[in-house]
């Protein structure tokens, strides 16, 4: 007979912590709410320490201590203990505590909580006590309540429930429900590994022995799984239940045990088989028992809390519980981007959680694997159902990108990176990818083939649809002449693009100011909000033209009250016409100096005296703001020339006189500024006379 013992046997971490806490607690006035685990031998050992078992919290006296076992309790129990001054020694398993947080949060958001598990199990009863809304318990995939069809559902599981049954129940709920179904894989990963190993042993062995308390839920799950693949499965509370005659003729026997089964009980079963003359083991029974003895201290997959004792260039030296011998922890197994021994000098003496990776040929521990296994735990039904997950790209190959999710290799084909062709794959190295699983391979090589393209394409399609809907709403609620508020997003040489209710409209530079501008920023500032008038709508081409100046007063609108007849202005000649010259009084306001109002002397054309760009003083002789007209006079500010005999005047060369006049107007050294009604400096007549004499 060949004997196989499951590697994942004995206490899980949560049970081990609870048992150790109870055994090491001073039993005076200490109570445990329910059996610490479903194992009579362990319960007796704790009772022998003076710790008393009660079934209800009301049985715990005030001012005493109570141990909450790994199964957890309803939330209200903590408040009651505080009110009664009962000290709580909380041994709730970390996985259970996580599930409690999930159901509390999700039920606060109005979701119906579905707990997949046994209705009478203490963990399930405790979870119900963390729900604030509707919650129900299911342990059968066939009897899903019909009223869930119109509910938003959150599904969790008892941590020791069958993974296979959980998947079937989830699948049937998703078929029924029309609304959101959010699934949390809360089965303990050690439970999953224990169940998988039981399945593997049951497939290759002729008989299976399942060791553990008969009322242990997780041990009974192992019995159910083994029975599906093996016709000879025997349930043993301890070695006393072993009937050698039933197994003596089998060529191979597998032994599995639940999370609440001490390794000592499995060892007793093995020793009983070894002592029997009817069992002929082909493998060394001593080796099997030695393996159990070794694993009674450490188990593969177990998380142990160690103490950092040294930091070296190769990694850390650590001390394990109940051991005085240091163990090496390779720097490659630490959860840090880059190892530096100096960073750990101040951490000597600190605790560190490590996963037992291997027991033979030597003990191998890892901190990094804890993180990987937690990531892998998150895979579960969520990722299989198409939920998005993130992975850092660690490299490339000819076909695409590669990464790691827990113990799964992740491969993203080049065509699945993003919409369109990706020429350079290397630019994605070190970057976080947002992925959705296309295929999950769970064989010897665990691999997830995933796509980022589908996520990006869905988001692009959603943005396009939202944009189209927003545009349709925008054009349905806007009309020419409307006054709208918009934020200046960007400017160009020809205008500004303004966001009006999220739609880009163009304010052309010609519609910014009545007086014209060369640069948009002279009027508008990027990031600021202004009011505009809608000038033109082109729904077909999705274009809207808006104007800023249309809501501003025109310069002529401000002339009344600002300028009046008799006022003196200083302006620039902006254009010359045969009948006079136009002078810019201010931006947008021009006045006409008729040819007859340029000089006291008769001139043929304004160009003989004035040029575009000349700055002149003039007197307003008439103004009509409504008609946008202003008449100016330059000669009104010039003294009249002295009268001379007619024949002398006739002999004067008029053209020369006007040329001298024009020259004198430009000579700043000879002529000072004109003021209303007079002029200082040399008179025009004197200038003309002087010019003639010089000639």
Catalytic residue annotation? 123
Separation CA 197–CA 254 (nearest Å): 10
Instruction: Give all strands of the β-sheet with 52-54 in edge-to-edge order.
Output: 52-54, 30-33, 65-68, 87-90
Long-range contacts of 499-502 (CB under 8 A, 24+ apart): 500/474, 500/532, 500/544, 500/546, 501/470, 501/474, 502/470, 502/474
The DSSP secondary-structure symbol of 611 reads -
Indicate the pairing of strand 233-236 with strand 252-257: unpaired
**DSSP per-residue codes, 569-612:** EEEEEEEEETTEEEEEEETTEEEEEEGGGT-SS--S-GGGT--T
Cα-only R_g, the chain: 47
- Six token digits for residue 474: 């925008």
Cβ-proximal residues to 689 (8 Å cutoff; 6+ apart), any chain: none
3-state secondary structure of 80: helix
**Under 8 Å between Cβ of 507 and 551:** no
The CA distance from 208 to 235, in Å, is 9
| Angstrom distance (rounded) from CA 102 to CA 124 | 13
Residue 381: which of 225, 198, 171, 178 has the closest Cα?
Answer: 171
- Start-to-end CA distance of the chain, whole Å, equals 143
Q: Look-up: residue for tokens 């136009």?
A: 582
Which has the closest alpha carbon to 99: 194, 36, 185?
A: 185
Contact call for residues 316 and 334 (beta carbons, < 8 A): yes
Give, in degrees to the nearest 5, the angle at Cα 155 between 79 and 147: 100
Cis peptide before 361 (omega within 30 of 0): yes
């Amino acid at each position: 007979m060949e004997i196989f013992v499951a590697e994942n046997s004995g206490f899980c971490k949560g049970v081990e912590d609870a048992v150790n806490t109870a055994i090491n607690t001073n039993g005076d006035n200490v109570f445990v709410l329910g059996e610490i685990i479903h194992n009579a031998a362990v319960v007796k050992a704790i009772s022998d320490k003076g710790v008393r078992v009660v079934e209800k919290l009301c049985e715990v006296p005030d001012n005493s201590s109570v141990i909450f076992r790994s199964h957890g309790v309803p939330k209200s129990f903590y408040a009651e203990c505080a009110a009664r001054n009962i000290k709580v020694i909380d041994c709730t398993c970390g996985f259970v505590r996580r599930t409690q947080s999930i159901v509390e949060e999700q039920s606060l958001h109005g979701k119906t909580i579905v707990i997949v598990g046994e209705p009478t199990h203490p963990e399930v009863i405790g979870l119900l006590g963390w729900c604030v809304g509707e919650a129900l318990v299911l342990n059968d995939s066939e009897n899903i309540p019909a009223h869930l069809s119109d509910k938003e559902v959150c599904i969790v599981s008892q941590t020791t429930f069958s993974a296979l049954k959980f998947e079937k129940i989830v699948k049937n709920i998703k078929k029924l429900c029309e609304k959101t179904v959010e699934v949390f894989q809360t089965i303990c990963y050690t439970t999953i590994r224990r169940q998988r190993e039981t399945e593997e042993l049951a497939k290759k062995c002729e008989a299976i022995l399942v060791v553990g308390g008969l009322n242990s839920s997780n041990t009974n799950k192992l019995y159910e799984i083994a029975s599906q693949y093996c016709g000879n499965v025997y349930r043993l509370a301890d070695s006393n239940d072993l009937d050698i005659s039933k197994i003596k003729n089998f060529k191979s026997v597998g032994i599995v045990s639940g999370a609440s089964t001490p390794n000592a009980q499995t060892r007793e079963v093995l020793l009983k088989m070894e002592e029997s003359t009817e069992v002929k083991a082909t493998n060394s029974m001593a080796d099997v028992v030695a393996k159990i003895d070794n694993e009674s201290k450490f188990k593969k997959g177990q998380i142990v809390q160690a103490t950092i004792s040294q930091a070296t260039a190769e990694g850390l030296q650590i001390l394990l519980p109940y051991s005085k011998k240091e163990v090496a922890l390779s720097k490659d197994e630490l959860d840090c981007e880059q190892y530096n021994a100096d960073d750990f000098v101040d951490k000597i003496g600190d605790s560190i959680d490590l996963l037992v990776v291997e027991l033979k040929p030597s003990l191998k521990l890892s901190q990094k694997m804890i993180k990987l296994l937690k990531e892998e735990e998150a895979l579960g039904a969520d990722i299989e159902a198409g939920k998005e997950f993130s992975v850092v790209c660690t490299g490339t190959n000819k076909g695409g990108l590669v990464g790691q999710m827990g113990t799964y290799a992740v491969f993203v084909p080049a065509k699945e990176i993003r919409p369109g062709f990706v020429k350079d794959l290397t630019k994605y190295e070190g970057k976080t990818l947002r992925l959705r699983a296309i295929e999950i391979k769970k064989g010897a090589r665990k691999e997830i083939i995933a796509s980022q393209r589908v996520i990006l394409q869905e988001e692009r399609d959603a943005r396009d649809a939202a944009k189209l809907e927003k545009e349709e709403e925008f054009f349905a609620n806007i009309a020419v002449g409307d006054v709208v508020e918009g934020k200046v997003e960007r400017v160009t040489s020809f205008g500004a693009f303004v966001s009006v209710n999220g739609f880009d409209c163009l304010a052309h530079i010609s519609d910014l100011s009545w007086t014209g501008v060369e640069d948009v920023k002279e009027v508008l500032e990027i990031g600021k909000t202004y009011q505009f008038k809608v000038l033109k709508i082109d729904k077909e081409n999705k274009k809207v033209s808006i104007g800023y100046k249309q809501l501003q007063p025109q310069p002529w609108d401000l002339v009344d009250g600002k300028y009046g007849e008799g006022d003196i202005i200083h302006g620039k000649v902006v254009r010359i016409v045969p009948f006079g010259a136009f002078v810019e009084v201010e931006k947008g306001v021009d006045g006409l100096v008729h040819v007859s109002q340029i000089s006291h002397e008769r001139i043929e054309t304004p160009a003989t005296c004035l040029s575009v760009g000349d700055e002149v003083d003039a007197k307003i002789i008439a103004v009509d703001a409504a008609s946008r007209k202003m008449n100016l006079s330059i000669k009104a500010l010039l003294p009249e020339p002295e009268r001379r005999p007619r024949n002398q005047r006739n002999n004067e060369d008029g053209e020369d006189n006007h040329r001298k006049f024009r020259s004198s107007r430009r000579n700043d050294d000879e002529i000072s500024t004109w003021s209303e009604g007079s002029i200082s400096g040399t008179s025009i007549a004197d200038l003309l006379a002087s010019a003639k004499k010089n000639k």
